[in-house]
Amino acid sequence: MSIDTFEASLDHASPPKGWSNALQALWWDAHDDWEKAHCLVQMDEADRQCAWVHAYLHRKEGDLSNAAYWYKRSGYPIATGSLTQERHLIASTLLVSSSRKD
């Protein structure tokens, strides 16, 4: 799957079935539902992918110190590009990861 798959899914009323909490959280964030996205990543705070999305969400919120904490937990570097670029990078990475598991 690719970022095009993610972007095309945004036309639907809900994220595709079978997606991880991290990927669903990105989907809800793209639908301007930060709260729902945040709840999803909090469901599995030990998961590196959820931690990465959690970092992105706090960066988007403007809580940079909290974002830094979650970047560290995720093992990914603190993002410096646009939020859209970061969302695309995370989604692409998560989609590739999920397709390897299938």
Q: What is the pLDDT of residues 37-85, one digit of tens each?
A: 999 999 998 999 999 999 999 999 999 999 999 999 999 999 999 999 9
The mean pLDDT value of the chain amounts to 92
Predicted confidence band of residue 99 (pLDDT cuts 50, 70, 90): low
The whole-number pLDDT of residue 102 equals 47
Cα(94)–Cα(102) distance, integer angstroms:
13
Residue 1: pLDDT band with limits 50, 70, 90: low
Residue 62 CB-density burial (10 A; 0-12 exposed, 13-18 middle, 19+ buried): exposed
pLDDT of residue 60: 97
